[in-house]
Structures are given as structure tokens and as C-alpha cells.
Amino acid sequence: MSLEHPEHICLPHDLSEFDEIIDVRSPGEFADDHLPEARNLPVLSNIQRSEVGSLYKKNPFEARRLGARYVSESIAGHLAGPLRRVQPGWNPLLYCWRGGQRSSSFASVLRSIGWRARTLEGGYKAYRRFVMEDLDRRLSKPDLHFRIISGLTGVGKTRLLHILRNEGGQIVDLEHLANHRGSLLGAQGSQPTQRLFESRLHKALSILDPARPVFTEAESNRIGSVYLPSALWRKFSESGVVELTLSIPERVKLLLEDYAHFPCAPDTLSSLVDQLRKLRGHDRVEQWRTSISEGRWTEFVTSLLENHYDLCYRRPGSPNSNYQAPAEKLPLPDCSAMAFREVAIRLLESQSARPE
């Protein structure tokens, strides 16, 4: 390995120079968090890692011998499998947990073949430290400006975000990063771990142009099972807010479109609203369950908005809200794509017209 291409790199570093990023940790470690765009080629399985770790407490030498055997077998399997068609000139970055033994072993074999394999100094632990420090640094910069879109459930805040993006605006879609819509009925499958959510957030922030405003939705500090970093929560409290408004019939229409999967799973929906008995009372929940069982969806959603979601809403500017009072209200005549596009263009134009 020449001086121009050292065997190790440290963060911060431009990772785009690498053809691929390879995480050699176990599948369990990879699922917890990993570098963006990394591919998992583990040299120890979850079971093998546990086995080697347990043995190490009793006999470090035998643990290293067993680990070396497992690692060698895994590397051979990867060369015969996922890497069998890789051409000369490949330039990957490899990393493991911290010590570098797993990634260094793999990288050494790859270099012996002729590939320009390098490793990340400090491994995942160094990456995790960099992410948290860089998040704080970016969010403390005074030139990063968020514009918060607030509004009652069903007004279409996420729809507006996506149209803003399509019209050239910068957005951070926290619900997409968290894989959750931020409410009782908002689950969309498995959520990322807290660490993986923070990695996704860091990547989203790192590609923003700080000279331009960033639009995002007014969320609580928890989205499903993940929490917003405290630095982001503080930044939101300092950011300007606009409020989106829409009539209840149109909000119902929008929600029936966005949650079209629930009528296909009425039992699941009934079990979810059951969780509101203590908060909203037995009679109310039974009314909702009856509406669900009889397929009276407009009635159900209207009642759920009026008797649950609207009652929970923390209006920006109120004592129990993290957000400032809205500087502007943006009324929507309906939930059509045209209505949202007109509001998006208005927001973008008003932002570009502001003096520096």
C-alpha cells in the first residue's frame, strides 16, 4: 500500500471516494446501526460472536484461535459468493466494531488479491462518536434555519413537505427517517433503532445547503419509539412556524386516503383504539369499535379527530408546546394536489423574497 493510499482512514473523510463500504460486523450489530449505504459482509455470525466472546472470558488464546477459524471461513465464503464477480481496481472501505481485528483481517486478504482495501480507524465506535459530535455542531450553527409546518392531524403536513421537495425546496422528513407517522395509528412496520435513526438524521442534515431554509413538520420529541436529539429539539424551539389549516371533512378524506390499509384490517384497528379506553372512556371506544365493525369509516374518522386527536393537539405558542406561535396561517380549500402545490409555491416564494 503506497503512501498515497494508506491502509486506514479517519473521520471526517470523504467516503464517496470508495467504491463500497463494507461492514464486517455480525448481522445483529449491523441492524442496530451502520454507516450509510454500507453492505453487511459479516466475518462472524451472531451466534459465533457470542460464542467467541464467552470463550474469551475463560481462555483468550482459544477464543482468538476459534475466532480466526470462523473469520477465515467467512472470508472464503464471501470471496466465493458476494465478491466473486468483483473486478480489479475495486476500492472498498471496511470497518468493524472498534479494535479493527475483524476488518483488518478481511482487508489484508483483499489487498493480497490486488484490491485497494482500507479500514476505518476506530471502526463503528469512531463513526458513532463522529455522528453525535457532528450533529451537535451542525444544529448549533446559526445559519441553519428550519421552517416548521404545524397543524392538526390530517391537514396534510407530510404531503406539503413532499410537494415542497418536488418544487425544489429543502426538507427533512422525520417520519420517513423514523418509519412512523407519529401517532397511535402511525406504525408503518419495524422502526430503526435510536442509533440508526440518528445516523439517518445525520445523513439527511449533511446534504443540506445551510444558505437555504429547511422545511420540516412539527413533531413531538418522540416519534414512535425513537427520540429527537436534544440539539434538534432546541433548534426547533427557535424556529419560525407556519400553520396549515383544513376543514374536518377534507381532513377525513385525506386520512382515508393515507390510511387506506386500515379498512382492510378492522381487527387490527379495533385493537389499537382499545388502547384509548383509559384516556377517552369505555363508551367512546365502543362507539368507535362499532363504527369500525360496520364499516362507517367517515363517521369513525370524524369522531376520532374531534374526540381524540384534536384534544391532544399542543398548539404552537401555548405553554405546553416546544414551538413558537405561528407567524402565518396557510388555509387549504381542499386536499387536492393543486391546493397543496399552490401553498408550497407560496411558501417558497415568500422565503426567496426575504432580504438577506
Which residues are catalytic, by number? 96
Q: What are the grid coordinates assigned to 84, written together?
A: 466473486
Cα separation of 247 and 190, whole Å?
32
Q: What are the grid coordinates assigned to 220, written together?
A: 413531538
- 67 phi, psi to nearest 5 deg: -60, -40
How many of the other CB atoms lie within 10 Å of CB of 231?
15
Q: What are the grid coordinates assigned to 121, written together?
A: 480507524
Cα separation of 214 and 271, whole Å?
37
Letter string b/e over residues 332-344, b meaning 16 or more CB atoms within 10 A of that residue's CB: beebeeebbeebb
Query: H-type helices in the chain, by residue range?
Result: 27-32, 46-58, 60-80, 101-113, 123-139, 157-166, 174-178, 194-206, 230-237, 248-258, 266-274, 277-280, 282-293, 297-304, 310-312, 337-352
Cβ atoms of 328 and 253 closer than 8 Å: no
Cβ atoms of 7 and 107 closer than 8 Å: yes
Place of cell 463500504: 21
**Distance between the two ends of the chain, CA-based, in angstroms?**
49
